[in-house]
Structure 1
Amino acid sequence: MGQEMYAMLNQDQRSIADTILASHRTQSTTTADSCFFIDGQGIYVMTVAWTGIAASLLPEGRTVHSRFKLPVPILKTSTSSIRPNNEAPMAPCYALNAVDILLRDIMNIDAPFGGKIMILGGDFRQVLPVIRLANRSELIAASLKSSNLWPYFKVIHLHQNMRTGPGEEEFSKSLIKLGNGELTSNEDDEIELPSSYVPTLCNRTILCPKNEHSLLVNEEALQRLPETEKTYTSVDEVECEDGDDITNYPTEVLNSRTPSGMPPHKLKLKIGAIVMLLRNLDVHQGLCNGI
């Protein structure tokens, strides 16, 4: 199977595969040629991604948190209790540092990632680490390029979009221009995409500024489905040492809250309804966080 997949690689992909395989054959504990970042034979690898959606697209893919047992939330001082990594630019540098500490400890080798070959993949034009209320400088500081491990990586570029179908070359080029900030914007700093790029969605998008508005839209959409509705209720309670504080937060008040990232107190579902998972239930079946 490996030889069949190798034969399907284009020139850029084959060059990268040859470079990494050569590094594996001559692998030592030195840092040279053991770390790779990809922009865009009998070896065992672990394919991981920062998000559940990206992990579900990889063969035997798992999230970084799941594979390396990273804590939630991940902090500067975090370590792992336990290697290609897709969508790596979405991960904060603390995650890479935690994996580095783990592999050094397991291998008992004081070299980046314990001397193991580390392959990262992704595009820095896309989403950077998400940090609540962070400004631009804080986001850059959390990026992989700010990690003290980044200088050890050899950056290799892929130039051909293998998912581009016939007649879609112009769309692919426009995405690159968008990421590079080369598309012309109007006076409100808005970029208008041709409707031909998104023919099925350009007139169907509902943008809600607040969660309460999106809940109303979702409720309306759910009512239009013909299937039988099932309702699941949450169990909300206050945990505190001071019993007096409990009276300040009645159960009815807790039930009425709809914070971001949490389901409503009454979760109504129907067969065919679109939902987003908040936890990884079964990665192999694609039941991942964010899907």
Structure 2
Amino acid sequence: MSHKKALEAFYHKLRNLRGNTRFVGGSLILFSGDFRQTLLVIPRSTPTDELNPYLNSSVLWRHLHKLTLKTNMRVQQQRDASAGNFAKQLMDIGNEWIQIDESSNVSPCHQTSVRSLKA
């Protein structure tokens, strides 16, 4: 996922180049991407530090019109029922539509500790 400062720099550049004060200089821009990607790992950071750089935390995010795709074309072309079921299950997990049965969670039967090898 792109850093929000890239969108904000693009926004200001386009306004300046076009000499127009409207959002992105009055242009129609199409952004695409996967907004369910794994977060960046930022060393010695807080959870806020890790979420802050993303596009959806930009002040410009509220001005964007968001569309979502609903058909997985790759799975549809395969005509494989199991692939379709797996893709649907992944989407349901991503949309938080699957109920979690807390009683079926796996817990370790014993814990293992590792000592440092340094003296």
Name the structure where helix makes up a greater proportion of residues: 2
| Residue pair 1:100, 1:113 contacting (<8 A) in 2 also | yes
- The normalised TM-score by structure 2 is 0.69
* Max Rg structure: 1
Rounded to whole Å, the distance in 2 between the matches of 1:154 and 1:175 is 25
1:154 aligns with 2:73: no
Task: Return the letter of the residue paired with 1:114.
Answer: G
Rounded to whole Å, the distance in 2 between the matches of 1:153 and 1:91 is 15
Residue 174 to residue 104, structure 1, CA distance change in 2 (3 Å): same
Residue 102 of structure 1 is matched in structure 2 by 13
Q: Which secondary structure does the structure 1 equivalent of 2:66 belong to?
A: strand
The structural deviation recorded for 1:183 is 7.8
- The normalised TM-score by structure 1 is 0.31
| Residue pair 1:126, 1:179 contacting (<8 A) in 2 also | no
Q: Which secondary structure does the structure 2 equivalent of 1:124 belong to?
A: coil
Flag structure 2 segments of 5+ consecutive residues without an equivalent: 109-119
Which runs of structure 1 show a deviation greater than 6 angstroms over 4 or more consecutive aligned residues?
Answer: none
Q: Which secondary structure does the structure 2 equivalent of 1:120 belong to?
A: coil
Name the structure where strand makes up a greater proportion of residues: 1
Q: Which secondary structure does the structure 1 equivalent of 2:32 belong to?
A: strand
1:122 aligns with 2:33: yes
Residue 179 of structure 1 is matched in structure 2 by 94
Rounded to whole Å, the distance in 1 between the matches of 2:5 and 2:94 is 25
Which structure has more RCO (C-alpha within 8 Å, separation ≥ 6)? 2
Structure 2 matches for 1:217-236, cutoff 5 A? none
- The size of the alignment, in residue pairs, is 98
Task: Return the letter of the residue paired with 1:166.
Answer: R
Deviations 1:99-149 (A, max 9, x none): 111111111111221111111222322234x25223322222212111111
Structure 2 matches for 1:208-219, cutoff 5 A? none
Residue 173 to residue 183, structure 1, CA distance change in 2 (3 Å): farther
